[in-house]
Amino acid sequence: MSRNTEVASVLEEYADLLEAQDVDYKPNTYRRAASNIRDYPDAVEDLAAEGADAVQQIDAVGESIASKVVEYIETGEIEELAAEREKLPVDIEQLTAVEGVGPKTVKQLYDALGVQTLDDLEEVARAGDVQDVEGFGPKTEQNILDHIEFARAAQERELLGDGRPVAEDVRSFLADVDEVDRVEVAGSTRRWRETIGDVDVLAASDAGEAVGEALVNWDRVDETLDLGPTKTSVRMNDLRVDLRVVVDEEFGAALQYFTGNKDHNITLRNHAIEQGKKVNEYGVFDVSDVAGDAEGQRVGERLAGETEEGVYDAVGLPWMPPELREDRGEVEAAISGDLPDLVERPDVRGDLHTHTNWSDAELSVRDMLEAAESVGHDYVAITDHADGPGVFGDTGLSDADIREQVDELEAARDAVDIDVFHGIEVNITEDGDVVETSDDLLADLDVVIASPHSGLGESGGDQTERLVAAIEHPGVDVLGHPSGRLINDRPAMQFDPDALAAAAADAGTALEINSNPHRLDLWGSVVQTAVDAGATIAVNTDAHSASEYEYIEYGVHTARRGWAEAGDVLNTRDADGVREFLE
C-alpha cells in the first residue's frame, strides 16, 4: 500500500492552517496537489526516493510542494508545517469536521476562547460562550451543538475506501504464510459497509501464534497492540487490524459469525433454535437431545462449520452474499427462496458520470475516454459541471462552453473504440430548479445529471420536495449523489426515500449510486427502497481522474447492499439500451 493518502492528509492539514492564518492562494494550491497525490496511481514515496523533480510529475505539484513531500517522506515531518502548528496548536481536522466550522472559524475560537479540541468546542458551546464571540451568535452556537455528535462519530469510524485496501493487503500477505490454510476478510469490511470501526481478517491454522508473529513482524505494520494464539491486533496506516485464527474445521462458522452484523446473526440463531439447533462461531450443532443443563459452545452433535455454505445449509438456508447480512429481510427471503441475484462488477458496462479539465478535473476529454476504454468500458459519458452554486472553484461551464466542448469531444471519439455520450452535470437550486443551463441545450445533450451542490447537510430540513422537483424536470436523466453527503465530513440531507423512489420510478429518472468512497450516495437501505419501488439505479464513479474509474467496484457493492440485480442498474445495459432509456 502506498503512502499517498497519508501525504495528502498532511498537505490538507497545512492548507487548513494556512487558510486559518488568512493566507491567500496557497491553501487551494495545496489542496489541489493533495487531491492529485491521493489519486495518483503509483506510490508517492517511490517518486520521493528519486527526488523532488520526480514528484513534480504529479499534476499540480510544483517545486515547493514536491520538496515538502520529499522532506516528509525522509524525515516524517515538514518544518514549515510544524511552525504553523506552533502558531495555531489545534486539532484542525477534528474541529473542521463540525459542519459550518472552517479553518478561519477555528482560529477565531482559539484566539477568543482557547478552543483546541472537539471537547473544548463542545464545552464552550454548551456554556453559551460561543455566541459572545464577535461575528458569532446564538444560531451559530446552536449549529455547532447540533453537529458535534456527528463530528465525534466521524472520528470513530474510517472510510471503507481506506480500510478495504488494507484488508486486502493483509489477506494477500497472510495467504503466503506457510502456516495459514485459508484466510478471508471479515466484518463490516466484507459487507462493504461505507464506514468501518477496524479491519477484521480471519485465518485458518493449527499454529495461531506463528501466524500472529508473522503479521507483527511484517514491515508494513506500524504498531503491535496484542499478540496471541487466537487473536493478534496491529495498527497499519492509522487503522486497527484484528486478526483471528481458528482451526480449519471451524473456519466457515467463524467467517459467518464475524461477517454478519449482530442483528443478522441473532435472526439466524433464532431460526436455528426453531429446529433444535445451535449456531455459533464454532459450528452448527444439533442440541435437540442435549440436556437442558449441558454447558459449552460445542455441545451437541456437530453438523457443520468448515464452510459458510455448510453453516447455512445445516439450518436449511442457501448461502447469502455478505452484503445482504444486515437483517433487512434476507433470512426471510432465503426461507421463501426469494434472495436476489445480485449485480456483479462484470455486469457494469460503462460509466455515465465523469469530469475533465473543462471543469474541475485534470485530464482532457481524450485522456478520460482512453482511460475508460483501458478499464474495459463499452461506453462512457463526459458530464462536466455546468455553471451554478456550489461548484468547486467556480469552474462550471456556460451554455457556450458546453457547445464548444462538442468539437473536442467529437474529435476525441475517433481515438477510442467505445461509445461516447456527451452530457452535463447541472446544479439543483435550493428551490428545486435546474439552473443556468438552458432547457434547449439540455434537450440536445445525451445525458443530464442533476445534483445538489449547495444548501447541503441535514440542517436545512427536509429536502424531499427539492429533489423530487429535479427528478421530475423533463430534461433530467439521472439524479446525482442525491443526499450530497461526504462520509465523516458532511451529513446527508434529509429526504423521504419512499417519495424519492416513487418519483424516480414514475418519471423514468435514474437514481445514482455515486461510487466515490467519500460519498457512496445513495447507500444500501435507500437503494433497496428504490429497487422495491421499481426505480432504475445508475452506478457511476463521478471520476475526476483516470484512477477513479476503479471506484466502480465500491458502487457495485453498494448496489448489492441495496439488493440490486443487474436488471435494476442502467449501466449494465449496452450502449443502445442506455440510449433508449435516456431518450
Shared-domain flag, residues 179 and 130: no
Q: What are 521-560's pLDDT values in tens digits?
A: 999 999 999 999 999 999 999 999 999 999 999 999 999 9
Number of structural domains found in the chain = 4
What are the residue ranges in the chain where pLDDT is below 50? Answer: none
pLDDT at 568: 98
Q: Which domain-ending residue is among 206, 227, 246? A: 246
CA-based nearest residue to 204, from 236, 167, 174? 174
Look up residue 398 and give its three cell numbers: 456556460
Q: What is the DSSP letter of 459?
A: G
CA atoms of 298 and 294, how far apart (whole Å) = 10
Q: Is 478 helix (H, G, I), strand (E, B) or coil?
A: strand
CA atoms of 445 and 447, how far apart (whole Å) = 6
Shared-domain flag, residues 352 and 381: yes
C-alpha 420, offset from chain centre = 27
Q: Which domain-ending residue is among 336, 368, 393? A: 336
Shared-domain flag, residues 267 and 291: yes
pLDDT at 275: 96
Shared-domain flag, residues 262 and 165: no
CA atoms of 564 and 246, how far apart (whole Å) = 34
350-351: strand order across its sheet? 350-351, 379-385, 419-427, 447-451, 478-479, 510-514, 537-540
Look up residue 237 and give its three cell numbers: 496506516
CA atoms of 359 and 394, how far apart (whole Å) = 9
pTM, to two decimals = 0.84
Shared-domain flag, residues 403 and 500: yes
CA-based nearest residue to 78, from 9, 1, 27? 9
Shared-domain flag, residues 369 and 465: yes
Look up residue 31 and give its three cell numbers: 489542496
Q: Which domain-ending residue is among 156, 180, 210? A: 156
Shared-domain flag, residues 37 and 12: yes
pLDDT at 393: 54
Residues with Cβ < 8 Å from 549, sequence gap 6 or more? Answer: 351, 354, 371, 372, 375, 377, 541, 543
HSE-CB of 198 using CA atoms within 13 angstroms: 14
Which domain CATH number covers 472?
3.20.20.140
pLDDT at 52: 93
Which domain CATH number covers 313?
3.30.210.10
Shared-domain flag, residues 17 and 123: yes
Which domain CATH number covers 64?
1.10.150.110
CA-based nearest residue to 526, from 493, 552, 553? 493
pLDDT at 42: 82
Which stretch of DSSP H or E encloses residue 276? none
pLDDT at 459: 66
Shared-domain flag, residues 327 and 352: no
Give me the DSSP letters along 161-203: HHHHHHHHHHHHHHHTSTT-SEEEEEHHHHTT-SEESSEEEEE
pLDDT at 292: 64
Q: What are 387-397's pLDDT values in tens digits?
A: 877 665 567 89
Structural domain including 318 reads: 252-336
Look up residue 218 and give its three cell numbers: 511484517
